Amino acid sequence: MANKLYVVGIGPGDQAYLTARARRALEDAQVLVGYTVYVGLVSGMFPEKETYTTPMRREIDRCRWALEAAAGGKTVALVCSGDAGVYGMAGPVLQLAPEWPEVEIEVVPGVTAALSGAAVLGAPIGHDFCVISLSDLLTPWEVIENRLRCAAQGDFSICLYNPASHKRSDYLQKACDILLAAGADPETVCGYVRSIGREGEEAAILPLKELRDAKLDMFTTVFVGSSTTLAEHGRMITPRGYERKRDLCGS
């Protein structure tokens, strides 16, 4: 498997969320590469393997290192939380890949937070939905604001990544205000899950008017329901309309 680079989505962190395909890729790899926290989530499973880590904001450096190591004859797994193609390293690796034509790249999907967090809450994305990151490190806030407004006007269920950080403590509040100004009902059913699949997992369901004042962090995934989303017995549900089809067939 020389000159092989796997770009692996490891899910939210707990081994129970690791897919069989992702596990095989990690087993095949000689070197595990990634953000320090994410490598730490899987390195304990493979203590014999070489690791290479970088801190936040060194994404391109770790992608280049992984490609160079693979070009040198090693089998490498570049790990990402969630899914490698959703705010992950699959994109940068494939953009850089033409510089290392000898490297075979395989993108291995994982369980992204939109899916694992939704399962904790129930079924908040059971119908059309969109995913928006509130981080403006790489995307101008004006673009994020427009996407939020369009999502509200389209009555999508919305999954929000990176809702807040130390430097962006008011971004979730700003996002909620944008949704409200675009016509979202203050009573819209919303929810959030912190530390999905890890120790200290925490979840809550609350209306949009209360979500804007919630104190969350970058390890939290937020779900804003559509106009049809319900809160039933502690679960968040966005119906797709099967019950309407049943009623029509029965009439």
pLDDT in tens, 162-200: 999 888 889 999 999 999 999 999 999 999 999 998 889
Residue 127 has a pLDDT of 96
Residue 169 has a pLDDT of 87
Contact 90, 7 (CB under 8 A): yes
State the burial class of residue 76 (Cβ atoms within 10 Å of its Cβ: 0-12, 13-18, 19+). buried
Contact 188, 227 (CB under 8 A): yes
Residue 32 has a pLDDT of 97
Higher pLDDT, 246 or 91: 91
If phi > 0 it is left, if psi is from -120 to 50 it is alpha, else beta; for residue 234 that is left
Residue 7 has a pLDDT of 98
Contact 161, 221 (CB under 8 A): yes
| Closest by CA position to 26, among listed 90, 100, 77, 80 | 77
pLDDT digits (tens, 9 = 90+) for 37-88: 999 999 899 999 999 999 888 999 999 999 999 999 999 999 999 999 999 9
**pLDDT surpasses 60 at 248:** no
Residue 250 has a pLDDT of 57
Confidence of residue 2 (pLDDT cuts 50, 70, 90): confident
pLDDT digits (tens, 9 = 90+) for 203-222: 999 999 999 999 999 899 99
Alpha helices in 35-164 (DSSP H): 36-43, 59-71, 90-96, 113-121, 141-153
pLDDT digits (tens, 9 = 90+) for 93-142: 999 999 999 999 999 999 999 999 999 999 999 999 999 999 999 999 99
Residue 159 has a pLDDT of 98
Predicted TM-score (pTM) of this structure: 0.92
Residue 116 has a pLDDT of 96
Residue written as token pair 């939905």: 129
Higher pLDDT, 88 or 245: 88
Residue 113 has a pLDDT of 96
Residue 1 has a pLDDT of 61
Contact 186, 208 (CB under 8 A): yes
Residue 14 has a pLDDT of 85
The residues, ordered by sequence, that sit 6+ positions from 24 with a Cβ below 8 Å of its Cβ are: none
